[in-house]
Structure formats: structure tokens, C-alpha cells
């Protein structure tokens, strides 16, 4: 394994000469940019170092500090609707993925299909969470998990000398164009490493290729089951014995220091248990769970570094757009499956739980499956040589997964197809946010965004947001003053609630399909 420090030095070496390359890249004479779209699974807003975490993520941090970070970028609060929105530029409800992943997507084309027509090589490695095989929706090559969560070490049958792999059910995998159900890899398999290795295989095989490429690298980390290599877990074991509140406060303080949130930010009320109420045995178990979760993110960052280094060696990194997102907030879901009891290993399915999820989503409220900020606000990093202000934090723009497709079309100089069989894009390009001159960096965009998953629903327009769970009444927040969603203004400004409720109902009627 290449040492992390070596990879980091190599990647930072690239950034040190990036400025000199910029004129060449932006002159219009160079190739179309390569694109790497990286998606984490169930990762909270504060889980990267560049978003306030104590977890070691030097590769993603370097991309952020030499690129752009957004503080208000949204997913759908759930795995498969986020993936549908990301690839199609439409709301998940419009493509038949608003309630289930078991329907073929309709009314759409994908980023991959559009870029393929424009001459791009298109690859996907990792989790899809849809019934359509990625090679049928625009990808030249696909390796990975077709549906939801799977055992990180062995998604298939028991291997000789090992515990029975913990799993919910058999999950379909696609390997070299063939469907495997179950897929039983050898003992060197670990999902994050395997997904990266597939991508590296394609990158290295196309080293002399003049065509640009689009790589969608969709990790299952740090989604449960919590499983990691022992050496990665060891880096974090004991770090979390200080408890939920201490780590949450550390992250909150660091976020202020980084300039991600203002000094007067009102943090949401904690929902985690009191650490002092836990037994010593339970504290040790909780420390272990969070250490494994951290190790999964650490390993993902290392693997991203391998991809960056491969491109650096091919002298392609200076002409590559890299985007990093998470499909929803950290998860409070707890899956209970009988296993061998050895947390972090192939034989035991362990979930993070609501207490640590509350910490992971610092400073926001609630978790995955909810439409509060903790469920829908993702860390969002863009690295691109055309970015004028390296290390900038954009805290005025708010975007959504549906915006990625049109943005990449703009960045590559291609247009969206207009046919009767596909809907027009819902997303809006934010290329201008990447290329803004310094004096324009506070320019605001204002357009409505809508959210609906299971019992949760929300709408944002400008600084105003309505949100609810189940049959509860709408709550109203001014996110410019209260992004922690601590002070409900619904009773004080009922006319604003009524106005936004009408807009939400109109959107709901417009986008709903019979899925």
C-alpha cells in the first residue's frame, strides 16, 4: 500500500504548479476536461477535516483548500432518490424514483449518456441503487453494487475459515459486464478498495487515450455495516472515549475557525444521550463504533488519493474537474441482524446510531430520512483549474443535486438534448459560481427547491424554508439567521407559510408520477 504521506505530497505538488498550468487549461486550446464525480454514502456534514472533523482526510482537504466548498448544497435525504437526481438533473419524483428504487427510470437521460454522445469515455464504479444497469443508461463500463447496502468485506457466501458474512439479503453485483447474485470475492476484498481498483484499472488502461473521461465513483462508505481494516480502526480507537458532546463541540468550534459558519451560529439542540449515563462497557462500544466509522472515511480519502495520483502521473489531473458530495446526512437508522458479535468485522452488522449521527451532522438538526438540514445538507467540494479563488467558501449560493448535470454540460461546452421523450432539466448550472471574480463572490441566487421523502417534506426559496415531518404543521425558518432550525417562525409569519405551501402543492402535483 502506498503511504498516505507520499500520496499527499504528490497531490500537493500538483496544486503547487496548478497556477502555472491555468492559462494553458483555460485558453480554449486544451482538451475537454475530464470529470470525476465522487459520492459518499450516509456521511454527515461535519465528517471531513475541511468541514470541521477530527477525521484525517488530507486528500479531500487539499481538494477543498485548492478548490471551492459550498455550505448550502442539498441532496434528497435518501440514497436512491439522490442518485436519480444526481444523474438525471430532475427531481427523483419525475423519473419514478420518488418512493422506490425498483422501477426503471423514465422521462430522462443521464450525465453519462450526454457526455458519451459528446465523445467522452464513461465509467461508473460503486453503488447504483437502481434497477437500471448503468451500462444501459450511458456508462461504457460498470463495476459495483446494483442495489443498497452490502457487507463491506464479503457481500456473498461464507468463505473457508471465516465467519458467516452479516447481511440483510443477497445483493446483485455487476463485475466485468456480468451479474453476480451472490458475489463472493476473495479475502482481499474491501468495498472501498475494490471500487477504487476498478476505476484505476480503467484510468490506467486509457493512459494514452486522447478522449476525455467521466468517472462516477460511488462509494458505500461510511454506510453501515460499519466495517474497516484493523489498521485503520487502530488510528481512531480511543479518540472518541471523550463522548458525543465533546466531539460535537470540537467540530462546532472548528467550523467557526474555518469560516464555514458565522460566530453567532445557533446550533441545533443535541439529541444524543448523556455520555455520563452510559456504562463503561457501553462507552467502549460507542468509541469503537465511531472509530470504525472514522476509519471508513479515512480509507475512502486514501483511495481518492490513489485516483488523484494516477491522474497526476498521466499529467491529466490539471485538466480534471473533481466533485465530492454525500447522498444524504449521517444516518440514525439501526439495523439489527444476528452475527458473531465482533464489531467491525465480516460477521457483524453494526450501525452508527442516532447519537453519533447527531455529532456527524454538526451543526445541523436531525439525520438521513429527514428534510431538516441535517438530512439534506451535504458537504460539497469542487476542484477545477478554472476556479478563480482557490480555497473559497461559498456561503451565499444554495444548490441541489439536480444542478450537477447542467453544470457539467456548461463546463464541457455541451447542450442538453431536446426530445419529446425526456423532460427539460430542473437543475440550474452553477458554473458562474466557480468562475466568479472576487468582487462578485457574494452574489446571491434565489430559486425554489423542493424536498419530499417518506414522511418528510421541505421547500426552500431564498432564505426561507418550510419543513415538516408526517402530518405535523409546516415549520418556518429563516436560514440566513437560523440555519440550525432552532426558532420556528410559522405562527409569526403565517402568510409566508401559506405562500410556500401553495408553491409546494403545485410542485408536488407537477412532478408526481405513478411510481
Catalytic residue positions, numbered: 79, 129
- Please state at what angle helix 4-16 crosses helix 58-65, rounded to 10 degrees: 10
The CA distance from 17 to 19, in Å, is 6
* Cα angle 162-164-166, degrees, rounded to a multiple of 5: 125
The CA distance from 51 to 65, in Å, is 11
Q: Omega of the bond prior to 225 within 30 degrees of 0, cis? A: yes
Spell out the SS3 assignment of 408-456: HHHHHCCCCCCCCCCCCCCCCCCHHHHHCCHHHCCCCCCCEEEEEECCE
Listing DSSP states for 459-475 in one string gives EEETTEEEEEETTPPPE
The CA distance from 446 to 22, in Å, is 31
C-alpha to C-alpha distances, 140 to 24, 121, 212, 218, nearest whole angstrom = 29, 7, 13, 16
Task: Kindly state the helix (H) or strand (E) to which residue 505 belongs, with its residue range.
Answer: helix 494-511
Closest C-alpha among 388, 377, 476 to residue 435: 388
165: its cell numbers = 458474512
Helices (H), 385-487: 404-412, 431-435
The CA distance from 42 to 361, in Å, is 10
Q: What is the dihedral of CA 98, 99, 101, 103, to 10 degrees?
A: -80
Is 235 within 8 Å of 56 (Cβ atoms)? yes
Q: Omega of the bond prior to 222 within 30 degrees of 0, cis? A: yes
Radius of gyration of the chain (CA): 22
**DSSP strand E in 61-110: where?**
68-74
3-class state of residue 354 by DSSP = helix
DSSP state of 199: H
Amino acid at each position: 500500500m502506498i503511504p498516505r504521506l507520499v500520496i499527499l505530497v504528490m497531490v500537493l505538488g500538483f496544486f503547487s504548479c496548478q497556477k502555472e498550468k491555468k492559462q494553458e487549461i483555460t485558453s480554449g486550446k486544451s482538451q475537454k476536461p475530464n470529470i470525476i464525480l465522487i459520492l459518499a454514502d450516509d456521511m454527515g456534514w461535519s465528517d471531513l477535516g475541511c468541514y470541521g472533523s477530527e477525521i484525517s482526510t488530507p486528500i479531500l482537504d487539499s481538494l477543498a483548500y485548492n478548490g471551492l466548498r459550498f455550505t448550502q448544497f442539498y441532496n434528497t435525504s435518501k440514497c436512491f432518490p439522490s442518485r436519480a437526481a444526481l444523474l438525471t438533473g430532475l427531481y427523483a419524483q419525475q423519473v419514478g424514483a420518488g418512493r422506490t428504487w425498483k422501477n426503471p427510470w423514465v422521462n430522462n437521460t443521464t450525465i453519462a449518456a450526454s457526455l458519451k454522445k459528446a465523445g467522452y469515455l464513461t465509467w461508473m464504479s460503486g453503488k447504483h441503487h437502481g434497477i437500471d444497469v448503468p451500462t444501459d443508461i450511458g456508462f461504457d463500463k460498470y463495476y459495483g453494487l446494483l442495489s443498497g447496502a452490502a457487507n463491506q468485506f464479503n457481500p456473498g457466501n461464507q468463505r473457508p475459515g471465516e465467519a458467516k458474512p452479516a447481511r440483510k439479503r443477497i445483493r446483485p453485483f455487476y463485475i466485468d459486464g456480468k451479474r453476480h447474485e451472490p458475489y463472493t470475492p476473495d479475502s482481499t476484498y474491501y468495498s472501498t478498495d475494490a471500487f477504487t481498483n476498478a476505476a484505476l484499472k480503467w484510468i490506467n488502461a486509457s493512459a494514452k487515450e486522447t478522449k476525455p473521461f467521466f468517472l462516477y465513483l460511488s462509494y458505500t462508505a461510511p454506510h453501515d455495516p460499519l466495517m474497516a481494516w484493523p489498521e485503520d480502526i487502530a488510528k481512531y480507537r480511543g479518540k472518541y472515549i471523550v463522548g458525543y458532546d465533546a466531539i460535537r463541540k470540537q467540530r462546532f468550534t472548528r467550523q467557526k475557525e474555518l469560516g464555514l459558519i458565522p460566530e453567532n451560529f445557533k446550533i441545533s439542540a443535541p439529541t444524543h444521550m448523556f455520555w455520563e449515563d452510559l456504562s463503561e462497557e457501553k462507552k467502549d462500544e460507542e468509541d469503537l463504533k465511531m472509530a470504525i466509522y472514522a476509519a471508513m472515511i479515512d480509507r475512502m480519502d486514501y483511495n481518492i488519493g490513489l485516483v488523484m495520483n494516477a491522474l497526476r502521473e498521466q499529467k491529466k489531473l490539471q485538466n480534471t474537474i473533481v466533485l465530492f458530495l454525500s447522498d444524504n446526512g449521517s444516518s440514525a437508522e439501526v439495523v439489527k441482524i444476528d452475527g458473531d458479535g465482533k464489531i467491525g468485522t465480516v460477521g457483524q452488522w453494526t450501525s452508527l446510531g442516532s447519537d453519533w449521527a447527531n455529532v456527524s451532522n454538526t451543526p445541523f438538526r436531525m439525520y438521513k430520512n429527514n428534510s431538516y438540514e441535517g438530512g439534506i445538507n451535504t458537504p460539497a467540494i469542487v476542484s477545477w483549474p478554472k476556479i478563480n479563488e482557490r480555497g473559497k467558501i461559498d456561503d451565499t449560493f444554495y444548490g441541489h443535486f439536480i444542478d450537477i448535470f447542467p453544470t457539467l454540460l456548461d463546463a464541457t461546452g455541451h447542450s442538453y438534448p431536446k426530445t419529446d421523450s425526456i423532460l427539460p432539466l430542473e437543475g440550474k448550472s452553477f458554473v458562474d459560481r466557480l468562475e466568479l471574480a472576487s468582487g462578485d463572490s457574494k452574489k446571491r441566487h434565489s430559486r425554489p427547491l423542493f424536498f419530499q421523502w417518506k414522511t418528510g417534506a421541505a421547500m426552500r426559496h431564498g432564505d426561507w424554508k418550510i419543513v415538516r415531518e408526517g402530518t405535523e404543521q409546516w415549520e418556518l425558518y429563516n436560514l440566513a439567521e437560523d440555519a440550525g432550525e432552532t426558532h420556528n417562525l410559522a405562527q409569526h409569519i403565517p402568510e409566508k407559510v401559506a405562500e410556500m405551501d401553495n408553491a409546494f402543492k403545485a410542485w408536488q402535483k407537477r412532478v408526481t408520477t405513478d411510481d
